[in-house]
Amino acid sequence: MNPVGWDGEPGERAGRTVREASPAELEVLGEAASAALTLDPGEGAALVARLVAPPPGRRWTVLTTPGCDAVVFASISERDPAVGHIDLLAVHPSVQGRGLGRALVGAAEEWLRAEGAAEARFAGNPPCYAWPGIDVRHTPAACLAESLGYERYHCAWNMTVDLGAADLSDGTARLTERGVTVHAAGPADRAAVAAFVAAHWSEAWAWEAAQGTGCHYAARDGEIIAFAAWGARPAWFGPMGTAPAARGLGVGRVLLRRCLAEMRAAGLESAQISWVGPLGFYSRAAGARAERVFWLYRRDLR
C-alpha cells in the first residue's frame, strides 16, 4: 500500500487518506463502480477488470479510500509520457457529496506528477479506456473537473445501434463474387489480424483487435484486407478499418454487421460504436444514431 495524504475540500475533515488499492480489493471496487456508474448500468466490474489489464508500455495505478467506496484509475502511456490520464472516477452513491471524488483526483494528480506527467486529462487513454471523456449528462463530474481547473478542449461522441431493430443481413454473397471471403478471427487468426492492423493503423488498434470479444476480417488472394472488432472496451463496437486498396467494395459494411449480429447473439440489446469519426457510414450501414457525447478536459500539472 502507498498512502497519499490529502486534505480534501474546504469544510471537509483534513487528513483523509487515499491509498493504492490491492488486487484483493478489485472485486469490491468493481461493485462500487457498478453502483456509481448509472449511465453504464452493469458495466462497472467489467471496466475495472479491463483497466487493470492494459497493454504493455503503460504505467498505471488504482487509488481508493479506506472503505473501498470510491476509486480512481490513472495512467501514462509511453507514446506520450508527458500526458497523464484519469481513466475512471467512481464514488458509491452512499458516500457522494463528502469530497471523496475531489480527494481521489488530487491523489491521482500527485501520482501523475511524480511519474513525470506535465498535464492531466479527463480523457480516455486508448486502447484501454472506459470512455472518451466525461459524458455531458454527468453534470457532477463535469462540475468537479471545472472546479479543479480543468479546461474543456475537445468533444467526442458515440453512436448507438438498436440491435433488435437493425437490419444485420451481411451481404457476403456480393463479396464472394469479387473474390473476397469473410471470416471470424479465432485464436489462431488473431496474431495475423493484429499484424495487419498494426501495419495499416497503429499498435493501439492492433491491441484492441487482439483483445476484443469478437473480431472478423476479410481476405482476398490470401491477404487480409479489412477487419472489425468489438468488446475490447466491454460491450462497445470498434475499431474497424479497410486497407486503402480494398475500399469501395462494401467490406466494411459486411464486417460491421457481422460484429453487430454477434453482439446481438451475445444478449446485447444495443451496441455503442465508440469514438466515432464517420457518422454517415454507420448511420447508413446499421441505422446508428449519434447519442452519447463526451467532453474531454485537461489541466497543467506544472
CATH number at residue 259: 3.40.630.30
Whether the per-residue pLDDT at 215 is higher than 70: the answer is yes
Residues 82 and 184 in one domain: no
Domain with 60, as residue range(s), is: 4-155+294-300
C-alpha cell at 47: 471496466
User: Stretch 17-26: mean pLDDT, rounded?
Assistant: 95
Average pLDDT for 245-267: 95
Residues 26, 149 within the same domain = yes
Containing H/E element for 20? strand 16-20
pLDDT at residue 5, as a whole number: 36
| Number of domains, the chain | 2
pLDDT value of position 173: 87
Q: In this structure, what are the phi and psi dihedrals at residue 216, rounded to the nearest 5 degrees?
A: -130, 150
Res 50 pLDDT > 50: yes
Would you say 243 and 225 are in contact if contact means Cβ atoms under 8 Å apart? yes
Rounded Cα distance between 259 and 213, Å, is: 10
Q: What is the mean pLDDT of the chain?
A: 93
Q: Are both 184 and 113 inside the same structural domain?
A: no
What pLDDT, on a 0 to 100 scale, did the predictor assign at position 277? 84
Give yes or no: residues 135 and 22 share one domain.
Answer: yes
- In 3D, which of 181, 177, 185 has the Cα closest to residue 209? 185
Within a domain: residue 276?
no
Q: Is 299 helix (H, G, I), strand (E, B) or coil?
A: strand
Q: Is there a single domain that holds both residue 132 and residue 64? A: yes
In a domain, 122, yes or no: yes
Q: What sign has the CA pseudo-torsion 95, 96, 102, 108?
A: positive
pLDDT tier at 103, thresholds 50, 70, 90? very high
Together in a domain, 107 and 174: no
Amino acid at 52: V
Q: Residue 11: pLDDT band by 50, 70, 90 thresholds?
A: very low
Alpha-carbon dihedral angle through residues 275, 150, 48, 126, given to the nearest 10 degrees: 40
Rounded to an integer, the average pLDDT of 67-86 is 97
pLDDT of the residue at 14: 30
**Is residue 172 within 8 Å of 182, Cβ to Cβ?**
yes
How many Å apart are CA 122 and CA 105, to the nearest integer? 10
The answer on 138 and 172 residing in a single domain is no
Higher pLDDT, 19 or 8: 19
- Supply the pTM of this predicted model: 0.90
Q: Same domain, yes or no, for 86 and 221?
A: no
Q: Using the predicted structure, report yes or no on whether residue 31 has a pLDDT greater than 90.
A: yes
The answer to whether position 36 is within a domain reads yes
- Output the CA torsion 158→164→167→171 (10° steps): 90
Q: What is the mean pLDDT of residues 205-221?
A: 97
Flag whether 26 is in a domain.
Answer: yes
Residue 16: its pLDDT value, please? 61
Q: Same structural domain for residues 173 and 113?
A: no
Burial class (CB in 10 A: 0-12, 13-18, 19+), 8: middle
Instruction: Decide: helix, strand or coil at residue 187.
Output: helix
Please, what is the Cα angle at 123 between 241 and 37, to 5 degrees?
Answer: 100
CA pair distance 41, 234, nearest whole angstrom: 12
Residues 85, 193 share a domain: no
Rounded CA separation 99/106 (Å): 11
Position 273 in a domain: no
Return the amino acid letter for 15.
Answer: G
Residue type (1 letter), 71: V
**Confidence band for 223, pLDDT divided at 50, 70 and 90:** very high
Tell me the C-alpha to C-alpha distance, in Å, between residue 80 and each of 30, 122, 197, 238: 28, 15, 21, 23
70's enclosing H/E stretch is strand 70-77
Among residues of the chain, what percentage have pLDDT more than 70? 95
Residue pair 161/286 in contact by the 8 Å Cβ criterion? yes
Q: Is 208 helix (H, G, I), strand (E, B) or coil?
A: helix
- On whether both 15 and 151 belong to a single domain, the answer is yes
pLDDT in tens, 135-193: 999 999 999 999 999 999 999 999 999 999 998 988 888 899 999 999 999 999 999 99
Contact 102, 9 (CB under 8 A): yes
The answer to whether 18 touches 3, Cβ cutoff 8 Å, is: yes
CA-to-CA distance for 255 and 242, rounded, in angstroms? Answer: 10
Q: Phi, psi (5° rounding) for residue 215?
A: -150, 135
Nearest CA to 134 among 117, 151, 118, 119? 151
